Amino acid sequence: MAGRRRLLWLLALIPLPFAVLAFHFLAPRPRPQVEGRPAALLTGTRNILIIGRDARALGPVTREGLVRQQREESSHSDMMMLAHVNLDLGRVNLVGIPRDLLVEVPGVTQAESSLDFTNMEKLTHVYAIGGDHLLRRTIELLLGIKIHRSMAFDFDTFRMTFGVLAPFIGRLRVSGVALGNRQEALKFARRRHGLPQDDIDRCRNDLLLVRAILGRTWWLADTRLGEITLRRILRIVGNDTDLTLEELLAIAATLNANRFEPAEIRTAVLAGEGAEVTLTRYNTTLFCYLPAYGEIRRQAARYLLDEDDVEAIDFMTRERFPAPGYLFANYVLDTLTQVLPDSTDEVSRRRELESQGTTARPESAR
């Protein structure tokens, strides 16, 4: 790869002892041994949930971005994406999940149907309610998949991780924005206000950022230097992941063996429409994101279940899709003591709306 070729050229310009040392770290890392033979490559798929959480610092902040501050335990998940890794195909897909998506939360919400949005919950709140376990379970139920691992970053661990990778990344430009240091990268990853489509655009930017970072650093994956780098990152993240170094190295080795290329990573954002919704849990009206269930099912099939024959948009631009009528219904209650009707006729009407696909999605009105 280009990064490795540049470094190998540099080796020719430095004294021999240093060149030998550098070659040791840049040479391919031997595969792990099992009973004296290289360990078998992995098979199947892995779904890894990546979370950006807004945990605030407790007390004075020192050496911001360089060390991990003491932070509050409860926080919201402001950024969520699924990394779908197909080890057999040497493929990685990244799927962004909007923070304001309305969802049924097992054991918490009691919606009468999949269209009873006033009795659902914003996905961003789920992490604060029940942490990683509840968030994973909620997304699994929404998308019909299994989430195998997760990794969460707060403001400190994101900046520290970017700092570890910075020497290999160089100066990035993502969506027209130059990212030269850890502070600029965090600001870019968090920004949503002022973007044409608010959090949907943030999802798109974050997907492109992760793909760009992988594109600059993947050449390290099977080297000793890559192993050292991963070890440092896992030490920074600490208990906010259940991924192990051994598993990450095995995933990288398998992807490399199956000719994975970061440039081929496919990205997608779950489709839907923003709307004001009165949430009865909070007795107030909030801006939320209504899921386009039919399109999301197709997206899950294509990008998370590897059903390549299923046609689904990636929603990385302002694409149109067949939008069911329920996306444009009024979910703002006239009185906060009122609840949406739960009669058989009403539930049937909503299910009928859900199955419709005759309305073209308009430009977002955010």
Check residue 54 and give its pLDDT. 84
C-alpha closest to that of 288 among 138, 125, 179, 88: 125
The confidence band for 35, taking pLDDT boundaries of 50, 70 and 90, is: very low
Are 329 and 349 in contact by the 8 Å Cβ rule? The answer is: no
Are 263 and 215 in contact by the 8 Å Cβ rule? The answer is: yes
Instruction: Average the pLDDT over each of 70-84, 151-165, 197-211, 326-340 and give the range with the smallest value.
Output: 326-340
**Residue ranges of the alpha helices (H) in 12-73?**
16-26
How many Å apart are CA 114 and CA 347, to the nearest integer?
A: 9
Check residue 23 and give its pLDDT. 39
Q: What is the dihedral of CA 281, 285, 291, 293, to 10 degrees?
A: 60
Which residues make Cβ contacts (< 8 Å) with residue 166, sequence separation at least 6?
181, 182
Check residue 74 and give its pLDDT. 72
Q: Which domains does the chain have, with CATH numbers?
A: 2-8+40-360 (3.40.630.190)
How many Å apart are CA 291 and CA 366, to the nearest integer?
A: 16
Using the predicted structure, report yes or no on whether residue 165 has a pLDDT greater than 70: yes
Check residue 77 and give its pLDDT. 93
How many Å apart are CA 106 and CA 117, to the nearest integer?
A: 15
Report pTM: 0.82
Residue type, 325: G
Bridge partners (DSSP) listed for residue 273: 290
How confident is the model over 153-174, as a mean pLDDT?
Answer: 94
CB atoms within 10 A of CB 330: 10
Instruction: Average the pLDDT over each of 209-218, 268-277, 328-337 and give the range with the smallest value.
Output: 328-337
The Cα angle at residue 265 between residues 51 and 196, in degrees rounded to 5: 60
How confident is the model over 248-255, as a mean pLDDT?
Answer: 94
Check residue 99 and give its pLDDT. 96
pLDDT one-digit tens code per residue, 289-302: 999 999 999 999 99
pLDDT one-digit tens code per residue, 227-238: 999 999 999 999
Helices (H) and strands (E) in the chain, counts: 10, 15
Instruction: Average the pLDDT over each of 33-37, 92-96, 247-251, 256-260 and give the range with the smallest value.
Output: 33-37
Are 124 and 76 in contact by the 8 Å Cβ rule? The answer is: yes
Q: Counting Cβ atoms within 10 Å, is residue 14 exposed (0-12), middle (13-18) or buried (19+)?
A: exposed
The confidence band for 222, taking pLDDT boundaries of 50, 70 and 90, is: confident
DSSP for residue 223: B
Check residue 176 and give its pLDDT. 93
Check residue 1 and give its pLDDT. 55
How many Å apart are CA 92 and CA 265, to the nearest integer?
A: 5
Q: Residue 212: which H helix or E strand, with range?
A: helix 198-217
Q: pLDDT > 70: what percent of the chain?
A: 75
Using the predicted structure, report yes or no on whether residue 4 has a pLDDT greater than 90: no
The confidence band for 122, taking pLDDT boundaries of 50, 70 and 90, is: very high
The confidence band for 202, taking pLDDT boundaries of 50, 70 and 90, is: very high
Residue type, 357: G
Q: 278-284 long-range contacts, Cβ below 8 Å, gap at least 24?
A: 278/118, 278/331, 278/332, 278/333, 278/336, 279/118, 279/119, 279/120, 279/121, 279/122, 280/118, 280/119, 280/336, 280/339, 281/109, 281/119, 281/121, 283/336, 284/336
Using the predicted structure, report yes or no on whether residue 268 has a pLDDT greater than 80: yes
Q: Counting Cβ atoms within 10 Å, is residue 176 exposed (0-12), middle (13-18) or buried (19+)?
A: exposed
**In terms of residues, how long is the chain?**
366
Using the predicted structure, report yes or no on whether residue 349 has a pLDDT greater than 50: no
Q: Token match 């661990």: residue?
A: 157
Using the predicted structure, report yes or no on whether residue 106 has a pLDDT greater than 60: yes
70 against 105, higher pLDDT: 105
